[in-house]
Structure 1
């Protein structure tokens, strides 16, 4: 049986959530039925070493997105994929234009992970994205909230949108925990007295680490704790200054991007996400999979869906430092039975995002897209 060739396009296989999702799909897609090809711009991404060896990996000879349209179109012509799959609005647009200019029969499927919009300029931009999305065969939204936003702001019809949650590679997480280790320079954080809170994400405005630092400072008055921040970003120096102002700099550790964050999650006593908005909250599902209790803000729309609005982890209002501090104190003071019950529920929830299950949903969409095309062609031939 001829395998379906799927070309995955993203700017780079870097440390972001979109790249991690693509990595999980590419590595777990059924090789007996699908042939994956990965295309990026000319960057070296930290996840490249995690790609399975049988994945054909092509880098375009450009680092500029606008310059990628024609080179990508040439690659599409040469590789003749059945489907071109992309994620992130700007890159989706490039993939759609490149597919049109390739003059092939390849079908576009785009993934939308962001919960964008609000101001006039952004809403106008989303309408433009929506015009391109209407040219695709299918739009995949990573949560019900993201789907509602695509319908509302991009003006894409609901029947063109399929909701598929992010895949979490549980086997990879387990392997990283079993085979991984905390680097020696960070080991003392976990071995010295006091409980450890960990968070992970880019150090940018949307992640709202300011609120987390303030909540940590308040909780520290009642509990002996340390805070580990995994990730890099433009606000790092500003956040360090904030920690100094709050007089907690000696208990806050900026450890940067880590290829194996899961060992940090697993060794910590608590994971806290302080985001203002999250399309899904992938890192929450990963934290649950490591057996660590979680606290999250009610960042729309994804966190509530991941935690089922508080069933699988505690939730507080966005920017509410008092409520976050109170929950930190509560969870760190849980008795052993209550803590184990919370961990067990979290592990059960993480199983529902297992990459092997989620990727099958992607495979179904890929198959349906091609089946619909064949059916239309058959009807056209009959009518002719």
Structure 2
């Protein structure tokens, strides 16, 4: 008899769980809204139209703006040669590596070229020409030394990587240790005073992402069980992060908004939070009109195409492709000479092909081939639903002299599209995106080219690989010796 009413309990439990989830969401979104408002009214944002912090001096550990805004002398050799250990789950060798992998490769290749001894501890590589057994490998003296732990290719085992690190550290101690996000868990990191971790996305931002993705659901469509379960998983993860992040001695936020969250929500002491924006290879992305015209002709964009939009990346829901698909399908009913070039692969690839010849789907492209893609478009569209991290594609497009259309997230608004001249921002829904695209069409290629020039100038001063590498180098020097913390 004790089980007679069992069929009623799941219904009550469901409502209770939903109510609890909503409370958790409110508890974390209210601080986020405060941070957004605070960030937009701070002295930093009031100077965002400028790419430099004028006449700043002092202890770099007190700087609460992106270090990219400071000029660091590009001398041929660093003042001190450092031995640097890097923990990265993967090391990119494929055609289309992820953003975190590309960041690790770009940064530490640049540091190695500056003469630092860089040792990368990572999972076994897929390339058969590489060593998979843990034996260090390097293509040249100016390249990072790669230590792959044993096991399955691409599968990260931090304990095995730690063994390789410990062996090398005993041979000659490392000056500084760098972890790409949680490649090195806090249980090992807590005892390393010379460690810095770069956060490419935190759980609090992931919670926002889940909310924005669910808002793309039709009103009559039920909430998926997977989404409901994900909410229950991410809230405890946020709480755990707030507790264990203190075990990392130095935190590098890759966006200004992430830096705000680490200081104000995660309660990390401000002197241990440093904002250094990502950078891209300035030699690989630049304006080249002839290359763009050739690429258009090669893929079959008609000469009478009045406007060409471009999007790049994984064609998945969280990258905002449901929004772009819906908005562009409506746009082309009114504007017959507007085209869209899609560089990427994923579940939405076939959906885009349904839109007919006005959409060119090119599949995944290597960074080297993306140069022609960026030069072939009039404006770059980034419809992402992910507030976390900082998409390299936006930086690459701007470096190539292209204006952008981007989601109005604090990370993008506060660190990339810091000036209205750089392009257009929209709320993460299809209606708002369509309004932005209509404005793009009204302006036309000539005005967009003017915006693109402004983007290129800003990107060249902020988002280059050398700029990022010099900022990290100064941080690593500061970690080794306090005298390097004083700027200039």
Category of TM-score, reference length = shorter chain: 0.7 to 0.9
Q: Which residue of structure 1 aligns with residue 380 of structure 2?
A: 271
Q: State which of 257, 272, 280 in structure 1 corresponds to 2:364.
A: 257
Q: Which residue of structure 2 aligns with residue 29 of structure 1?
A: 111
* Residues 109-124 of structure 1 aligned to structure 2 (within 5 Å): 109-117=196-204, 118=207, 119=231, 121-124=233-236
Q: Which residue of structure 2 aligns with residue 158 of structure 1?
A: 270
Q: Are the equivalent residues in 2 in contact too, given 1:281–1:303 (CA < 8 A)?
A: no
Q: State which of 313, 317, 324 in structure 1 corresponds to 2:433.
A: 324
SS at match of 1:311: helix
Q: State which of 62, 84, 89 in structure 2 corresponds to 1:6.
A: 84
Q: 1:52 to 1:169 in 2, by over 3 A?
A: farther
2: distance between equivalents of 1:347 and 1:184?
A: 20
1: distance between equivalents of 2:292 and 2:449?
A: 23
Q: State which of 263, 284, 299 in structure 2 corresponds to 1:188.
A: 299
Give the deviation of 1:3 after TM superposition.
2.3
1:59 aligns with 2:127: no
1:78 aligns with 2:176: no
2: distance between equivalents of 1:65 and 1:24?
A: 19
CA distances 1:105-146 after superposition (whole Å, capped 9, x unpaired): 773210012153244532322333344432222000011211
* Residues 1-384 of structure 1 aligned to structure 2 (within 5 Å): 3-14=81-92, 15-29=97-111, 31-32=113-114, 34-44=116-126, 53=140, 54-63=143-152, 68-80=157-169, 81-89=174-182, 91-93=183-185, 96-98=186-188, 107-117=194-204, 118=207, 119=231, 121-174=233-286, 187-190=298-301, 193-194=304-305, 195-223=307-335, 224-233=337-346, 235-236=347-348, 240-241=350-351, 244=354, 248-259=355-366, 260-278=369-387, 279-308=389-418, 310-319=420-429, 321-334=430-443, 338-351=447-460, 352-372=462-482
CA distances 1:193-213 after superposition (whole Å, capped 9, x unpaired): 423221112222221101101
Structure 2 unmatched ranges of 5 or more: 1-78, 131-137, 208-230
Q: 1:228 to 1:17 in 2, by over 3 A?
A: same
Give the deviation of 1:18 after TM superposition.
0.9
Query: Of the two structures, which has the highest relative contact order with CA contacts closer than 8 Å and spacing of 6 or more?
Result: 2
2: distance between equivalents of 1:282 and 1:250?
A: 28
Q: TM-score, normalised by structure 2?
A: 0.65
SS at match of 2:268: coil
Q: Which of 179-188 and 336-345 deviates more? A: 179-188
SS at match of 2:324: helix
Q: Which of 69-78 and 334-343 deviates more? A: 334-343
Q: Are the equivalent residues in 1 in contact too, given 2:289–2:376 (CA < 8 A)?
A: no
Q: Which residue of structure 2 aligns with residue 379 of structure 1?
A: none
CA RMSD of aligned residues (A): 3.4
Q: Which of 125-134 and 201-210 deviates more? A: 125-134
1: distance between equivalents of 2:447 and 2:422?
A: 13
Q: Which residue of structure 2 aligns with residue 382 of structure 1?
A: none
Q: Which of 324-333 and 180-189 deviates more? A: 180-189
CA distances 1:337-377 after superposition (whole Å, capped 9, x unpaired): 533321211111111222212221111111111125999xx
2: distance between equivalents of 1:180 and 1:130?
A: 48
2: distance between equivalents of 1:115 and 1:135?
A: 15
1: distance between equivalents of 2:413 and 2:425?
A: 9
Give the deviation of 1:274 after TM superposition.
0.5
Q: Are the equivalent residues in 1 in contact too, given 2:407–2:428 (CA < 8 A)?
A: yes
Q: 1:111 to 1:179 in 2, by over 3 A?
A: farther
Q: Are the equivalent residues in 1 in contact too, given 2:308–2:341 (CA < 8 A)?
A: yes
2: distance between equivalents of 1:336 and 1:302?
A: 23
Q: Are the equivalent residues in 1 in contact too, given 2:309–2:378 (CA < 8 A)?
A: yes
Structure 1 unmatched ranges of 5 or more: 376-384
CA distances 1:302-330 after superposition (whole Å, capped 9, x unpaired): 344201153311111111x2332333233
2: distance between equivalents of 1:32 and 1:13?
A: 20
1: distance between equivalents of 2:293 and 2:167?
A: 44
SS at match of 1:168: coil
Q: TM-score, normalised by structure 1?
A: 0.80
**Structure number with bigger Rg:** 2
Q: 1:211 to 1:11 in 2, by over 3 A?
A: same
Q: Which residue of structure 2 aligns with residue 378 of structure 1?
A: none
Q: Are the equivalent residues in 1 in contact too, given 2:176–2:476 (CA < 8 A)?
A: yes
